[in-house]
Amino acid sequence: MPTALIEPGSYLRVRYSVPKRGLIEYSVEADRPVNTYILDEEGLKEFLGKGEDITSYYGGFYNRYEHHQELRLPFRGWWYLVIDNENHDPVAVHYEVSG
């Protein structure tokens, strides 16, 4: 399970290829609450712009220590797991993705 330290007000973005059947599963454990997003290319652009609402996302949770989700993505190409640290302190996260 990869581990990362995310600085305050920063995020971790990891890119994956959408599997043939579209099924993915991910888990995130953090020592402080974080937000997770499952995004396509359009959703990533919206997230990076931060001024717009993110309307093109497919999963994720807000303000949790533990995140786990299984879902089927309705698109092909790349998908992104974004782990967002809105805390004022660094956050250690462990994450795992399958599918």
The reported pLDDT for the residue numbered 51 is 60
Is 11:95 a contact under the CB 8 Å cutoff? no
Interval 24-67: pLDDT, tens: 999 999 999 999 999 999 999 999 987 667 778 899 999 999 99
The reported pLDDT for the residue numbered 1 is 80
Interval 76-93: pLDDT, tens: 999 999 999 999 999 999
Within 10 angstroms of residue 35's Cβ, the number of other Cβ atoms is 18
Q: What is the CATH number of domain 3-98?
A: 2.60.120.680
Q: How far apart are CA 30 and CA 88, in angstroms?
A: 14
Average pLDDT over residues 7-35: 97
Domain ranges across the chain = 3-98
The reported pLDDT for the residue numbered 99 is 84
Confidence of residue 74 (pLDDT cuts 50, 70, 90): very high
